[in-house]
């Protein structure tokens, strides 16, 4: 009979994950269950509850079940079934029914604030494995080991490097620089990131349901409004804990998009990365606060949402769309937004890691 050898945790490859966003934490939670050693290196010194909301369904919930944390999603999330689209004059113009998915897959859809989902995943990782305040700048990926160095002089060594560090992934940048020198980077991956949308996102503090009866609905209300000139659209999503998550999107046409992109003033990390940048946030809030909300008596506007949100938790960001052809090299692998940028949704592929077999 064939004997089965077991591998001790100490014999297993050590994984260094750059980025404690949703992708990095999800992978950390999986490695934790598999008893594979890992460390997560995150540049933010504190985890701020930034972001709006995400929706999760049949592609992701089975994974949360396997991790034993689906119940936490059911508690912190709110089931949702319909995506309602309104005109700026508050007429319902489209209702998309997602409840059919439950019949097909057996799973409901849930809406959840990004900070709440981030918190659930963070509780799966022992705190000593998440190193905060560590911005990775240097990566050595050409030997038997990988090593990353951070701006404060720390260094982390491992056998596999995971770039879970978002749209402007430093792991991807360093990987591509090396491949370019070796003339191994495909032309498609040498192009600049295209974007066509500027986005403002946030979440109100928990509100009084008597003042906002829409919060009493047992199903998350997912309401999108299309602006008259098609330049703007804005989305509101109610949560189980009485807040309203919101997003306002400025859709750029191709010409505007390219010229904005080429404008160096707009290419500061302030505008490109998720975060709260007071001046830029205030300007876009001022510009859009008169936008009408589809619920209530007609007097409510986006300004009512902004005024009920913590200002330092509002983010303004440029959103890109791109599928990178190169997503691994040597001992490094890119996951999540580092490898695949799909505009504005919780893409289940963000949470998948496929290991290439040579």
Residues 6+ apart with CB under 8 A from 211: none
**Does 24 sit near ligand FAD (CB under 6 A)?**
yes
Among 45-53, 73-81, 86-94, 207-215, which window interacts with ligand FAD (CB under 6 A)?
45-53
**Residue nearer to ligand FAD on the CB measure, 21 or 77:** 21
Contact flags string 89-128 toward ligand FAD, x per CB under 6 A: -------------------------x--------------
User: Nearest approach, Cβ of 245 to ligand FAD (angstroms)?
Assistant: 7
Tell me which residues in 163-182 interact with ligand FAD (CB under 6 A): 164-166, 170
Q: Which is nearer to ligand FAD, 42 or 72 (CB)?
A: 42
* Contact status: 19 vs ligand FAD (CB under 6 A): yes
> In the bound complex, what is the minimum distance in angstroms from residue 357's beta carbon to ligand FAD?
23
Candidates 29, 39, 41, 237; binder of ligand FAD (CB under 6 A) is 41
Is residue 22 part of the contact set for ligand FAD (CB under 6 A)? yes
> Which one of 23, 28, 77, 294 is in contact with ligand FAD (CB under 6 A)?
23
Token pair 């003033």: residue: 265
**43 near ligand FAD, rule: CB under 6 A:** yes
Q: How far is the CB of 280 from ligand FAD (least distance, A)?
A: 15
Contacts (Cβ under 8 Å, ≥6 apart) of 161: 15, 16, 18, 139, 141, 146, 148, 171, 331, 332, 333
- The least distance separating ligand FAD from the CB of residue 44, rounded to whole angstroms, comes to 5
Contact predicate 281/200, CB 8 Å: yes
Instruction: Return left, alpha or beta for 248; rule: phi > 0 is left, psi -120 to 50 is alpha, else beta.
Output: beta
Q: Candidates 21, 28, 77, 292: give the one binding ligand FAD (CB under 6 A).
A: 21
What's the min distance (Å) between Cβ of 222 and ligand FAD? 13
281 binds ligand FAD (CB under 6 A): no
- Region near ligand FAD per CB under 6 A, out of 37-45, 104-112, 153-161, 288-296: 37-45
Q: Interface with ligand FAD includes 136 (CB under 6 A)?
A: yes
CB of 348 to ligand FAD, least distance (A): 11
- How many Å apart are CA 321 and CA 330, to the nearest integer? 25
Q: Does 336 sit near ligand FAD (CB under 6 A)?
A: yes
By the rule CB under 6 A, 350 interacts with ligand FAD: yes
Query: Nearer to ligand FAD by C-beta: 19 or 227?
Result: 19
SS (H, E, C) the chain: CCCCCCCCHHHCCCEEEECCCHHHHHHHHHHHHHCCCEEEECCCCCCCCCCCEEEECCCCHHHHHHHCCHHHHHHHCEEECEEEEEECCCCEEEEEECCHHHHHHCCCEEEEEHHHHHHHHHCCCCHHHEECCCCEEEEECCCCCEEEEECCCCEEEECEEEECCCCCCHHHHHHHHHHHHCCCCCHHHHCCCCEEEEEEEEEECCCCCCCCHHHHCCCCCEEEEECCCCCEEEEEEECCCCCEEEEEEEECCHHHHHHHHHCHHHHCHHHHCCCCCHHHHHHHHHHHCCCECCCCCCCCEHHHHHHCECHHHCEEEEEECEECCCCEECCEEECHHHCEECCCCCCHHHHCCCCCCC
Question: Which part of the chain contacts ligand FAD (CB under 6 A), choosing from 8-16, 20-28, 90-98, 297-305?
Answer: 20-28
Question: Residue 54 or residue 161: which is nearer to ligand FAD going by CB?
Answer: 54
Size of the site for ligand FAD (CB under 6 A): 31
Binding ligand FAD (rule: CB under 6 A), the pick from 15, 17, 20, 300 is 20
Sign (positive or negative) of CA dihedral 179, 182, 184, 185: positive
What is the contact surface with ligand FAD in residues (CB under 6 A)?
A: 18-24, 41-44, 50-52, 54, 114, 135-136, 164-166, 170, 201, 274, 315, 336-338, 344, 346, 350
């Amino acid at each position: 009979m064939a004997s089965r050898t077991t591998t001790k945790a100490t014999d297993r490859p050590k994984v260094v994950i750059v980025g404690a966003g949703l992708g990095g934490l999800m992978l950390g939670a999986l490695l934790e269950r598999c008893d594979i050693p890992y460390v997560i290196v995150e540049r933010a010194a504190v985890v701020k509850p930034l972001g709006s909301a995400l929706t999760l369904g049949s592609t992701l919930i089975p994974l949360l079940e396997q991790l034993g944390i689906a119940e936490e999603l059911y508690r912190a999330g709110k089931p949702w079934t319909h995506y309602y689209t309104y005109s700026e004059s508050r007429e319902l113009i489209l209702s998309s029914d997602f409840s059919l998915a439950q019949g097909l897959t057996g799973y409901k859809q849930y809406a959840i604030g990004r900070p709440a989902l981030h918190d659930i995943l963070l509780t799966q990782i022992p705190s000593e494995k998440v190193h905060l305040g560590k911005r990775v700048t240097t990566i050595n990926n050409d030997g038997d080991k990988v090593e990353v160095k951070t701006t404060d002089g720390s260094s982390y060594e491992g056998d596999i490097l995971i770039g879970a560090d978002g749209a402007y992934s430093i792991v991807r940048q360093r990987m591509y620089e090396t491949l370019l020198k070796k003339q191994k980077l495909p032309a498609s991956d040498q192009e600049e990131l295209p974007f066509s949308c500027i986005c403002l996102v946030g979440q109100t503090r928990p509100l009084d349901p008597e003042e906002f009866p829409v919060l009493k609905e047992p199903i998350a209300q997912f309401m999108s409004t299309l602006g008259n000139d098609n330049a703007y659209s804005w989305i509101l999503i109610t949560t189980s804990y009485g807040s309203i998550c919101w997003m306002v999107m400025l859709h750029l046409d191709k010409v505007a998009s390219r010229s904005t992109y080429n404008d160096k003033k707009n290419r500061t990390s302030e505008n490109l990365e998720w975060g709260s940048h007071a001046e830029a946030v205030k300007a876009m809030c001022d510009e859009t606060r008169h936008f009408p909300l589809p619920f209530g008596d007609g007097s409510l506007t986006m300004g009512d949402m902004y005024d009920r949100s913590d200002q330092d938790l509002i983010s303004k960001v440029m959103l890109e769309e791109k599928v990178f052809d190169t997503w691994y090299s040597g001992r490094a692998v890119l996951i999540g937004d580092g490898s695949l940028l799909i505009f504005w949704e919780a893409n289940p592929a963000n949470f998948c890691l496929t290991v290439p077999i040579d």
